[in-house]
Every structure is written in C-alpha cells, then in structure tokens.
Amino acid sequence: MERHVERPGATTLRGNPLTVLGPALKPGDKAPDFKAVDDSLKDVNLAGTGNGIRIFSVVPSLDTPVCDAQTKRFNEEAGKLPNVTMYSFSMDLPFAQKRWCGAYGVDHVKMVSDHRDGSFGQAYGTLIKDLRIMSRAIFVVDKNNVIRHAEYVKEVADHPDYEAALAAARAAASGAASA
C-alpha cells in the first residue's frame, strides 16, 4: 500500500475538514504491516498481534470522553469474545496509555502507541496530517490478516458503530472456529 496518500476532508473535528494520511482500507484488503510500541515500549507489528481475530480500535487520545468510552466498551466486550483480541491504537505516549489503563481498570485491551513515526496511522489511513493524532476508526482483522470490517468515523467526536464491528468480529471468529 502507498503510504503517501493524502485524503483531504476525510475526517472532521467540530465540522472542520481535516486531511488524513494513508489509504482508505476496506473489507477484503490485506491488513498492512506497521511498527509501533506497546505500553512497555516493546515493538509491535502486525505479526506481533498474533494470527487470530483482532479488533483494532483507533482513537485520537484516551484522555478524551469518546475515546475513553470507546476503549472501555471494547474492554467490556472482550470478556464476551474469548476468541478475539482487542487492541487500542493512539498517538498517546505508552506511559499515558499504561496510566490510563491502571486508573480505569482496563485490562482486556492491549494498548499500542504510534507516537514514534505514525507508521500504523499512515498504513491504515488514520493519521490526521493537520494535528498529528489519529482519526477514529475500527478494523476487524481475521486470522489470515485480511480486513473483515473497516469503519472510518467521519466526525472525530462521534462514536463508531460498535455493533457492526462486534458482529464482524463474531462472524470472523465463528468462521475461524469452523475452518
């Protein structure tokens, strides 16, 4: 995938259009590789997320109300989806991610920070050029590293369609279980 793609107006903040870097991925696309770090400063790439069903929840910053709610929601849902691994990606520093998880008892979502070079954001088309934060998005990636669900939330302050992502993850998990 080309990483130098610019998508002007792909997202908005309070109605103001912003340019997003990277392609708009869709179901059926191969999940791109990336290089980021977890909340212990260990490198994370696509292979490092395992070969099961994964939800990649992408948020601008954990310290904002919608991002907080989105991450807590996926933490709650993780217990109901034992064959799905949840990841939360943001540009927050790993230390802030770890602090936030400890403060709110979030222990079923794996935190990934893209703060170093925006590799995930550029590969998945979520890096807001104007602000150097992520746009809100959700991806469901199957065991073959194929994207089964992709949602780019137009307005940064809006919630994603949780049910659509969870349904896609359930479908991918049931397909994986029968394969």
Taking the C-alpha atoms of residue 131 and residue 138, their distance in angstroms, rounded to an integer, is: 20
Active site residue 67: yes
Rounded alpha-carbon distances, angstroms, from residue 7 to 19, 24, 45, 46, 115? 5, 8, 24, 24, 21
- Please report how many Cα atoms fall inside a 13 Å half-sphere around the Cα of residue 39, on the Cβ side: 18
Taking the C-alpha atoms of residue 131 and residue 31, their distance in angstroms, rounded to an integer, is: 25
Given the residues 25, 44, 67, 165, the one annotated as active site: 67
Active site residues: 67
